[in-house]
Amino acid sequence: MQYHFNEIEAKWQKYWAENKTFQATNQSDKPKYYVLDMFPYPSGAGLHVGHPLGYIASDIYARYKRHKGFNVLHPQGYDSFGLPAEQYAIQTGQHPALTTEENIKTYRRQLDQIGFSFDWSREVRTSDPSYYKWTQWIFIQLFESWYCKTHQCAFSISELEKLFSEEGNAGVNAACDDDVEYFTAKEWNSFSSDKKLVVLLKYRLTYLAETEVNWCPALGTVLANDEIVNGVSERGGHPVVRKKMTQWSMRISAYAERLLQGLDTIDWTDSLKESQRNWIGKSVGASVTFNVLPNVTLSADEGSHKIDVFTTRPDTIFGVSFMTLAPEHELVSQITTPEQKAEVEAYIQATAKRSERDRMADVKTISGVFTGAYAEHPFSKRLIPIWVGDYVLAGYGTGAVMSVPCGDQRDYDFAKHFNIPIPNIFEGIDISEEAYADKDNTIIANSDFLNGMNYKKATKRAIFELEQLGQGEGKTNYRLRDAVFSRQRYWGEPFPVYYVNGMPQMIDKAHLPIRLPEVEKYLPTETGEPPLGRADVWAWCTETNSVVANNKINNTTVFPLELNTMPGWAGSSWYFFRYMDAHNDQEFASEDALKYWENVDLYIGGSEHATGHLLYSRFWVKFMKDRGFVGVEEPFKKLINQGMILGTSAFVYREDGTNKYLSKGLIADINVHPIHVKVQYVNASDELDIEGLKNDGEFGEDFKDAEFILEDGVYKVGRDVEKMSKSKYNVVNPDAICEQYGADSLRLYEMFLGPLEQYKPWNTAGITGVHGFLKKLWKLYVGENGLNVDDSEPTKDNLKTLHKTIKKVEEDIENFSFNTSVSTFMIAVNELTTQKCTSKQVLEPLLVLLSPYAPHIAEELYSQLGHNKSISTAPFPKFDESHLVESSKNYPISFNGKMRFTLELPMDMSKEDIEAAVMAHEKTKEQLQGREPKKVIVVPGKIVNIVG
């Protein structure tokens, strides 16, 4: 009987689906284990062999954990809102819901054929109203919350209102907008309800704010920095301008410290934690207030300005020789003297044209302009000229810096360029060539009360003195910015928000979900409003509590709804909770389910989400914990980034100016142009199937009349490893692999390629290795005339092979070293085949070991051994050390550390006897050639090393 993988795989996939083999229960005596993949965006192109890599790894782990007696939750779903579907809708007019549905079907078929043990009964789709109902609900909770910095915790906004009415806001230590004004309880209570709403909005964890964005008028949308190339949109090349827009923001900055601290409690890779730390960007220093000197030409009212700066080096405060403001800084226009006005305005105009990215990329050019105004040094009272320079970013700190040229290279370069003095405040340091930024060896000089102090002491003293003056305090700054949460798109979650007198109002939970309205086109409106501005039925009636036609808007009972939609990361920031109780229509998940499953034990996905999805999810979970909705502080306990599988592109070489294609070895110094060809026309020896290429439906025409110049009778292509992509014709489809070799071969081969975390090239030719292994495995169990397995007693060698395999495979899975397991299986099958093993006592446990990796063949053989329950219910074999105990050791005999020969000696031989046996050996004498050994190292059971 042969190994008919197609039949076997279809049979067991059907069995698993029909018997709900992998359905997890929310009640169990077994310990729980939650294995999660980053859910895919269902793109139109379907899966290529790179996509399932992480899913296969997590599936192996999930199946292993089931064998180990865990109740495993291993769900899958779709991140199904997103731009490609919308773009396709704009081009074709097809509703994104339809194309998304189609794409999901393809994905599901492809995933099913690989034999994953997903619990599909818990599938979620972020674009499903029954799912985004809860995304909207969480948004409302964020709106109804504020963050107390003293307690480091979010609370209900009603508690804040109570505080305000009892004691005003002076004593409230909240994460809020910078521009809140102080008020007393009495004042608060006298505010109109509209005014109260305005004030509260400054405290809410999601709030409306004017944000500067990259606006592309032609596309009617906001673009991310990387969607802009050379100042124009990447798609279409339209001009882009900086524009202020009112958008929803998330106050993630409130959680900066906890997001940073939490990293120490989770098992993620160091590189990933490091990216998040960089992103959060904590820096400790001080804020310093400089008074701007009254300018005689300005009125008294305009004259009393203050500039706040943040510095990490308050110890260098006596080294300040100028200040620099970002061109966008609001004080610039107010303090500039009439003489400098024209120059400053010209400079601001020039910098406004450059995108933020351009400005950052061009570090070399030093530019700036003097405002004509001066500030006063808080201690020395010296005059400090105030400059404008675009090396200061408006978005970081206060958008202004105290420039200490002797201690900061950028300040130094700026000072040199504009001939500003560079006072030296460092003891014994030469600053004639460059700034001195070494904190550890700093001794302060020329600095009044700071003289002679080191960095630490001087910092402490400077902050103390600033506080005495009321012109500064110790401060910690974070680079992490609040996240913009509005998108001018159609295919995303609608906000559960309507507007009364321009103030946002939340729709009550009872009326969720607010479903996406129908529009006739998916483009922005002619007036530049988002696509939802095209909907005719998009107003909120507070009497019927329903979405009604726009023409009913009267602003007394019927109000306009929000036109923006939520960003891609909204739905993905909490989906891991929904899997716990996916069909609950009363809550996002029940308390019991949340309590049982807690959080994700193992999360596998790509490292490209390091600072997006993985940071936002942590933020939402911390918020939900604060408000008592969940019991955990972190979403993902352990996280592994799978590496990317790269494609091996193939090239043919056209001789310039001809229609001749030269085989790779013939190029020499002839001028040729390499052209990508589809990898399916290339065999394992890099030989091109010329006929196949010429008959290709898509490109055959291009090569029809081409002449292929062969070497040794074949055309050899060139190869290069590149990212797998359609445009490089190196995409390999798992469907074809499954059909030709089977899902078990695909699973084994993806693992066999190399370590999970590494980037590695795909080469279909190599799959014959693992496929051959499966055939060999099959032959070990099934002969010409039926099963080869019997009840015979295993031999010592059989047991040794089995138990070393158990040991290795178990260690490998625990270490996520799946590639070495595959080798181990090959070795085991090779050995057992040589041993002609037929013993069920050995061959049955081997199947359980293999089943996480190659579940179909394992199920089939297991059932042929007489079982009528799925192999997934079998316990993992127990390792028994006693089978590996050896009585002798083949010692490597080294001379000066180099192994020269081996010698078989009993395991229990003493050190002295080993040395004697080695020294007596004739090859030892040969090696020494008469020399007397200086030293003989004997490590019993390991090695002998002779020095001399």
Structure tokens at 928: 């020494």
Using CB under 7 A as the binding rule, whether residue 410 contacts RNA is answered as yes
- For Cα atoms 77, 83, 84, give the angle at the middle one, nearest 5 degrees: 85
Contact set for RNA, span 470-529 (CB under 7 A)? 477, 479
Give, in degrees to the nearest 5, the angle at Cα 563 between 560 and 568: 145
Residues in the chain: 948
Q: Which residues is 760 bridged to in the sheet?
A: 645
882 binds RNA (CB under 7 A): no
Closest distance between RNA and the C-beta of residue 882, in Å?
A: 18
From 138, 401, 624, 630, residue interacting with RNA (rule: CB under 7 A): 401
Count H helices and E strands in the chain, helices first.
Answer: 31, 36
Number of amino acids touching RNA (CB under 7 A): 89
Which CB sits closer to RNA, 540 or 778? 778
The span of 77-85, 384-392, 423-431, 503-511 binding RNA (CB under 7 A) equals: 384-392
Beta strands in 570-677 (DSSP E): 600-605, 636-641, 645-655, 660-662, 672-677
> Min. distance of Cβ 270 from RNA in angstroms?
5
Site for RNA in 734-793 (CB under 7 A): 752-755, 758-761, 763, 765-766, 768-770, 772-773, 775-776
Structure tokens at 708: 């292929």
Contact with RNA (CB under 7 A) among 108, 359, 638, 676 = 359
Based on CB atoms, which residue is closest to RNA, 462 or 507? 462
Alpha helices by DSSP H, listed for 68-95, are 83-92
**Of 28, 156, 278, 304, which lies in the binding site for RNA, with binding defined by CB under 7 A?**
278
Name the residue nearer to RNA (CB basis): 731 or 822. Answer: 822
Q: How far is the CB of 877 from RNA (least distance, A)?
A: 17
In the list 6, 275, 550, 788, the residue contacting RNA (rule: CB under 7 A) is 275
Query: Residue 418, exposed/middle/buried by CB under 10 A (0-12, 13-18, 19+)?
Result: middle
Calculate ∠ Cα 900-901-904, nearest 5°. 150
Q: Given phi > 0 = left and psi -120 to 50 = alpha, else beta, which region is 298?
A: beta
685 binds RNA (CB under 7 A): yes
The answer to whether 726 is a known ligand-binding residue is: yes
CA distance 213 to 219: 14
Stretch that binds RNA, among 235-243, 739-747, 816-824, 851-859 (CB under 7 A): 816-824
SS3 778: helix
Q: Does 122 bind RNA (CB under 7 A)?
A: no
Name the amino acid, one letter, at 755: P
Shortest Å, Cβ 915 to RNA: 13
* Residue 544 backbone phi and psi in degrees, to 5: -90, -10
How much of the chain is in helix, strand and coil states, percent to nearest 5?
A: 40, 20, 40
Query: Which residues ranging from 823 to 842 are in contact with RNA (CB under 7 A)?
Result: 823, 826-827, 830
Q: Is 630 in the site for RNA (CB under 7 A)?
A: no
Neighbours of 425 (CB within 10 A): 25
Least distance between RNA and beta carbon 506 (Å): 33
Residue 747, both tokens: 């699973």
Q: Which stretch binds RNA (CB under 7 A): 127-135, 524-532, 811-819, 838-846?
A: 811-819
Nearer to RNA, 421 or 528 (CB): 421
Q: Which amino acid is at 682?
A: V
Q: Which two tokens stand for residue 820?
A: 């070495």
Cα(925)–Cα(912) distance, integer angstroms: 18
Q: Tell which one of 349, 902, 906, 916 touches RNA (CB under 7 A).
A: 902
Minimum Å gap between C-beta 361 and RNA is 7
Beta carbons of 732 and 765 less than 8 angstroms apart: no
Nearer to RNA by C-beta: 537 or 937? 937
Report the alpha-carbon distance of residue 240 to residue 621 in Å, rounded: 36
For the bound state, the minimum distance from the C-beta of residue 675 to RNA, rounded and expressed in Å, comes to 22
Cα distance between residue 122 and residue 584, in whole Å: 11
* Residue 817 engages RNA in binding (rule: CB under 7 A): yes
592 binds RNA (CB under 7 A): no
Q: Which two tokens stand for residue 483?
A: 């996240």
- Rounded to whole angstroms, how far apart are CA atoms 390 and 362? 11
CB of 395 or CB of 866, closer to RNA: 395
Q: Does 717 bind RNA (CB under 7 A)?
A: no
Closest distance of CB 599 from RNA, Å: 24
Host H or E run for residue 258 = helix 256-262
The closest of 362, 78, 413 to 231, measured between CA atoms, is: 362
Shortest distance (Å) from residue 940 CB to RNA: 11
Of 65, 8, 120, 181, the closest CA to residue 583 belongs to 120
- Region near RNA per CB under 7 A, out of 360-368, 372-380, 444-452, 849-857: 360-368
The stretch near RNA (CB under 7 A) out of 37-45, 387-395, 564-572, 613-621 is 387-395
Residue with structure tokens 């003891």? 427
Is 397 among the residues that bind RNA (CB under 7 A)?
yes
Q: Which helix (H) or strand (E) holds 619?
A: helix 613-626
- Residue 697: CB minimum distance to RNA, A: 26
175-184 long-range contacts, CB within 8 A, separation 24+: 175/146, 175/147, 175/149, 175/203, 175/251, 175/253, 175/254, 176/146, 176/202, 176/203, 177/202, 177/203, 177/207, 177/209
- State the residue for tokens 């106050």: 251
Beta carbon of residue 890, minimum distance to RNA (angstroms, whole number):
5
Which of 342, 363, 469, 884 binds RNA (CB under 7 A)? It is 363
Rounded least distance, CB 812 to RNA, Å: 5
The reply to whether 684 sits near RNA by the rule CB under 7 A is yes
The residue among 136 and 324 lying less far from RNA, judged by its C-beta, is 324
Q: Which residues of 696-719 are buried (b: 16+ CB within 10 A; e: fewer)?
A: beebeeebeeeebebeeeebbbbb
Work out how close the CB of 372 gets to RNA at its nearest, in angstroms, rounded to a whole number.
Answer: 22
When binding is defined by CB under 7 A, the residue of 365, 785, 868, 882 that contacts RNA is 365
Exactly one of 310, 347, 577, 853 binds RNA (CB under 7 A); which one?
310
- Nearest approach, Cβ of 413 to RNA (angstroms)? 7
Q: Is 391 in the site for RNA (CB under 7 A)?
A: yes
Stretch that binds RNA, among 235-243, 822-830, 856-864, 877-885 (CB under 7 A): 822-830
Asked if 294 interacts with RNA (CB under 7 A), we say: no
Please, which residue, 345 or 811, has the CB nearer to RNA? 811
Q: Which residues have C-beta within 8 Å of that of residue 465, sequence separation ≥ 6?
A: 379, 449
Nearer to RNA, 208 or 843 (CB): 843
Decide: is 610 part of the binding site for RNA (CB under 7 A): yes
Site membership for RNA, residue 362 (CB under 7 A) = yes
Record the tokens describing residue 946, joined without a space. Answer: 């002779």
Site for RNA in 85-114 (CB under 7 A): none
Q: Which of 121, 557, 671, 896 binds RNA (CB under 7 A)?
A: 896
Q: Does 894 bind RNA (CB under 7 A)?
A: yes
Per the CB < 8 A criterion, the answer to whether 64 and 601 are in contact is no
* Binders of RNA in range 916-935 (CB under 7 A): 926, 935
For residue 445, the 8-state DSSP code is -
Binding mask 126-165 for RNA (x = CB under 7 A): ----------------------------------------
What is the CB neighbour count within 10 angstroms for residue 311? 26
Tokens in use for 800? 């040794």
The answer to the question of residue 396 lying near RNA (CB under 7 A) is: yes
Nearer to RNA, 250 or 610 (CB): 610
Q: Does 211 bind RNA (CB under 7 A)?
A: no
Residue set of the binding site for ATP: 726
Residue set of the binding site: 726
